[in-house]
Amino acid sequence: MFRQSSHIFTPKRLAVWRADRCQDREKTLLVLALVVGFVAVATADDKEVTLKGTICCGKCELKETKDCATCIKVKEGDKEVIYFFDDEGKKETYHKTICSEAKKGSVKGTVSEKDKKMYIKPVKDSVKFD
């Protein structure tokens, strides 16, 4: 008279359900461990460095960007490397100083690479002119 519903847990279904939950939990823990590992590696690479060279405008002086952007040209070995500042560009107070003419100076920050270009994220008040 009464039919068994398909949503009632039989011992076999209960075992399968528990196994699936266990696998889901293991997958979640694995993903979480990978994320923590990647974050640890990323923060280990973020060392502060000081770059010394010629600070100039990426648009006016170098003709490398569409809008004004602050850059520093650094001599590394026998070649010159350009580091673009990862900042607010022409809105920064120090940009007005170098927009019309390049000046010798230094910047302290963390270096990264994006799209085959080098970037430096300046620490607050770390841009100094000679």
For residue 102, being part of any structural domain is answered with yes
Rounded Cα distance between 30 and 101, Å, is: 53
Both 53 and 108 in one domain: the answer is yes
Both 25 and 72 in one domain: the answer is no
Per-residue pLDDT at 56 exceeds 70: yes
For residue 106, being part of any structural domain is answered with yes
Both 97 and 78 in one domain: the answer is yes
Both 24 and 54 in one domain: the answer is no
Do 69 and 89 form a contact (C-beta atoms < 8 A)? yes
Both 26 and 59 in one domain: the answer is no
Which range marks the domain in which residue 15 is found? Answer: 9-45
Q: How confident is residue 82, by pLDDT bands cut at 50, 70 and 90? A: very high
Per-residue pLDDT at 52 exceeds 90: yes
Taking CA atoms, 29 is separated from 18, 40, 42, 123, in Å, by 16, 16, 20, 35
Per-residue pLDDT at 12 exceeds 70: no
What is the model's pTM? 0.63
For residue 2, being part of any structural domain is answered with no
